[in-house]
Structure 1
Amino acid sequence: MKHEVDVHVGKRIRHRRWMLGTTQQQLAEAVGIKFQQIQKYETGMNRVSASRLWDISKVLDVPVAFFFEGIDLEEQDNHKGTPGDLLSDKEALDLLRSYYAIPENQRRRLFDLARVLSDAA
């Protein structure tokens, strides 16, 4: 049975990997495991050991704490019956990656536009 923490950590691994444009195969090779193991980590099917999480954090260039960020908020959201995690939505991840590929000054203007449009909706 999947544990909520393992599922959350897996989602965070997938999120960061997508943000960097890294494939499961590339991450697996960098860590020294098979890509199927990355798949199992990302779904929460297999628990990531502390040493493996350390290795993954180095390859993905984030602190280990990154993988646990938002876990309390996710639990609260699940109890409220809110929509699923946006990080599991491929379109949302593509949009986020594209957003951060825009130069900062243009990105700020786009953000301001999006805020105005969402306030008007």
Structure 2
Amino acid sequence: MADEIDVHLGRRLRRRRRLLGLTQQELAEACGVRFQQIQKYECAANRMSAARLWQLSEVLEAPISYFYDGFTEAKARGGEEAGEVFARKETRDLVRAYYQLGERPRRRLLDLAKSLNGEAEG
């Protein structure tokens, strides 16, 4: 049976991979493993070694701490993941589109979103 930390790491791996728009196959090729191994990591059937976690962090351009972010909170909620909104396709599409913009349009879009949020609160 998978340990809570393995489940959390697998969820974070899946989230980051999807955010970057990578398939399991593409990630596996970048790591020199088969896609089934990525599947096993994501569903916590197999544990990730420290070396594999390091490799994944390099390929996914995320600090190792990314994989552990929110674990304490999730554990306190019985494994329920905070920020499930990031697992939605709509959110991933929005983030991908945002990062395809140049720096100036990104700042302007962020300012717009903040101002709209301020209007909703006020």
Q: Deviations over 1:43-75 (max 9, x none)?
A: 333322222112212222233222112323444
CA distance in 1, matches of 2:85, 2:43: 15
* Counterpart position of 1:89: 88
Q: Is the 8 A contact 1:57 1:63 kept in 2?
A: yes
| Matched positions, count | 119
Aligned equivalents of 2:3, 2:25: Cα separation in 1: 25
Aligned pairs (5 A) from 1:1-121: 1-76=1-76, 78=77, 85-121=84-120
State the Cα distance separating 1:119 from its structure 2 match: 2.4
Instruction: Judge conservation of contact 1:30–1:59 (CA < 8 Å) in 2.
Output: yes
Q: Give the unaligned 5+ runs of structure 1.
A: none
> Residues 44 and 82 of structure 1: is their aligned pair in 2 closer, same or farther, counting only changes over 3 Å?
closer
Shift, 1:86, TM fit: 2.3
Root-mean-square deviation (CA, aligned residues, Å) is 2.4
TM-score by structure 2 length? 0.78
CA separation in 1, counterparts of 2:83 and 2:61? 26
Aligned mates of 2:82, 2:62 — CA distance in 1? 27
Identical aligned residues as a percent:
50
Question: What SS does structure 2 have at the residue aligned with 1:111?
Answer: helix
Alpha-carbon distance in 2 for matches of 1:7, 1:15:
12
| 1:105 partner letter | R
SS of match in other structure, 1:95: helix
